[in-house]
A and B are shown apart, each in its own frame.
Chain A
Amino acid sequence: MRGTLFAATIVALIPLVLVIYYLLHKGLSLWFTSGFFTTDPTGSFFGNPGGIRSAILGSLVIVALATVISIPIGIGVALYLTEYGKQSWFANTVRYFVDVMTGVPSIMFGLFIYIVLVTSRFGGSGYAAWKGAVALALLMLPIVIRSAEVVLLLVPSSLREAALALGAPRWRVVFQVVLPTSLSGLLTGSLLAIARGMGETAPLLFTVATAFGLTFNLNSQMNTMPFLIFTDITSPRAAIQNIAWGTALTLVTIVLIFNLFARLIASRSSA
């Protein structure tokens, strides 16, 4: 029996190994191409197809903005649920709705932002990086809220009560006792949400579109790694298809690093 279950575990891990192997096989050589990380895609059919710099930086910028939006709001809502709302009908309704949000397909967030922000040309632009960031933030928000709530609940009430008994006002208890105690857990949850955001394609399809050149202008179209993979793989030119694989390897590596980092912090802080 033990053997069967062991085999099942190995079977579960086989796809991971195969996918990573295939990515390395198709994409690793791209990492050693000169200019892969330092130049932007050129779009040129014949000449040098360029690198993926604008995609990497674009992804980082958009996810950074999504993080800045979703993490404070997410932790704030979680704080509300644990400190004030507790089991009130309002808090339970919020929890239910957050659960609903976790189940929404990510493409729907993209479409939502598309009809609310893109077609209305909100902010003077059609497709824009910040709009994609908002779509990603919507995606990341429920993850942050759920994981933060779990972590905040783990803070022993004795700590809170001790602080209150010493005369600290509620807000002090929150900022100087609850948050610092749960910091590593909050960090873990946030890192996992960020890792999720980096790998998403669907929310970006109809909100950010793409650009070749490097730009930091949030109100314009911007290149991103998932989008680059999705479009480059359809190019007739083999060299550009290879770039898609190199980008896929880069993306998976970044996401894996975030994940491992998060789990490292989680296992370090828990007994």
Chain B
Amino acid sequence: MKPRLIALTATALALALVVAACGSSSKTTNGSGGSSGGSSSGSGTINGAGSTLAAPIYQQWGSTLKGQGLTVNFNPVGSGAGQTSLAAATVDFAGSDPSLKPSDKAKMKGAVLQFPVAAGAITVSYNLTGVKSGLKLDGPTVSKIFQGTIKTWNDPAIKALNPGMSLPATNITVVHRSDSSGTTQGFTTWLSDVDPSWKSSVGEGKDVNWPTGTGGKGNSGVAAVVKQTQGAIGYVEQAYALENGFTYAAIKNSAGSYVLPTIPNTSAAFLGITVPPDLGISTINSPNAGAYPIVSQTFLDAYKDPCKDGGASSGTAAALKKFLTYAFGAGQQTLGAGSSQLPYAPLPSSLADKDNTQLATMVCNGSAIS
């Protein structure tokens, strides 16, 4: 008798859960996911996916906007995956560090708008006892380290850049990303810019054939390996470096100065760059004299007509517009160097204005979104 009772109870519970799930689809305040069935304009749920660099930003904003009735689900799967999801219209917006190339745009279901949102520095973090701060590195040296030609910390090339600093003979362990990543894209783009030999032998991309080194999954994977390995060096986003108290190097920028990845130096990367009409900027190796050279911009990408091309309802489109308006407005106040701000560089007002102008062109099935 007992097993029968258990079986019946279990089945009843399972069915109850399922009925509850089906039944409450109309009652839930979160609205339906993706872009099916809408709720009142400006509230509801929007889904995004993409950049791990920007994930903390969107997750923080989502948490704030929840209080205003807007639910933002962001899946930090990486810039490329975000773009692919947007192309398949399985999400309402994508977070992407690299700007959209013409080949990327061709894969989309319709015209896509890209909005620069913020920038984050990519630090060159290391773990070396006795060398706590002040290490200087330039492009060609970093390139040689990551190519494996410079193998020890007391190599003459490193010594030459850091006279007066005592460097141990420890082996250098290079750490890179094992998964595809916009951070890798930013880092390798900079390396290709500053070292022609890197460009020809390895090249740039979200995923490259690393000549040497260990792979860690995600920024935290790289951070974990660096933390655990004496003599390790890896490229890690600012937020992770700061959270983990990493030591990072000052890198030589295009103007010849050695710059640390502080927020002001990251913001400086926005100044002096050219802004193309589709807002596909690049802050890597910025010409600005005070800028940190390895700064990755990050974009929010969405369809110009999310209803027609992305299958969104008018309610979802309105919610998307509300999210984007927040992103270029009040959301920017949450970014910066303050203790209660997220460690990213906010947009200069000129760029934020351009974003807002572009946002106004977003429509739903041809008509303007309220």
Contacts and interface: CB of A to CB of B under 8 A. Distances in A.
Interface of A: 42-47, 60-61, 64-65, 67-68, 118-119, 121, 123-129, 180, 183-184, 186-187, 190, 209-221, 231, 233-238, 241, 265, 269
9 contacts: A45-B57, A60-B17, A125-B35, A209-B73, A211-B30, A211-B33, A212-B63, A221-B33, A237-B243
B73 A68 contact: no
Contact of A221 (B34, B64, B342): B34
A168 B242 CA distance: 75
B60 A61 contact: no
A74 to B, nearest CB: 14
Contact of B89 (A126, A209, A221, A231): A126
A266 to B, nearest CB: 10
A233 B220 CA distance: 8
B25 A119 contact: no
A220 B24 CA distance: 12
A124 B36 contact: yes
A216 B32 contact: no
Nearest to A269: B3
Interface residues of B, number: 61
B110 interface: no
Interface of B: 3-4, 6-7, 10, 13-15, 17-18, 20-22, 24-25, 28, 30-37, 45, 47, 49, 52, 56-57, 59-60, 62-64, 66, 71, 73-76, 85, 88-91, 217-221, 223, 237, 239-240, 242-244, 311, 340, 342
Contact of A212 (B3, B73, B244): B73
B163 to A, nearest CB: 34
A218 B7 contact: no
Nearest to A58: B21
From A60, A125, A214, residue with most partner B Cβ within 10 Å: A125
Contacts of A61: 17-18, 20-21
Nearest to A50: B63
From B15, B32, B64, residue with most partner A Cβ within 10 Å: B32
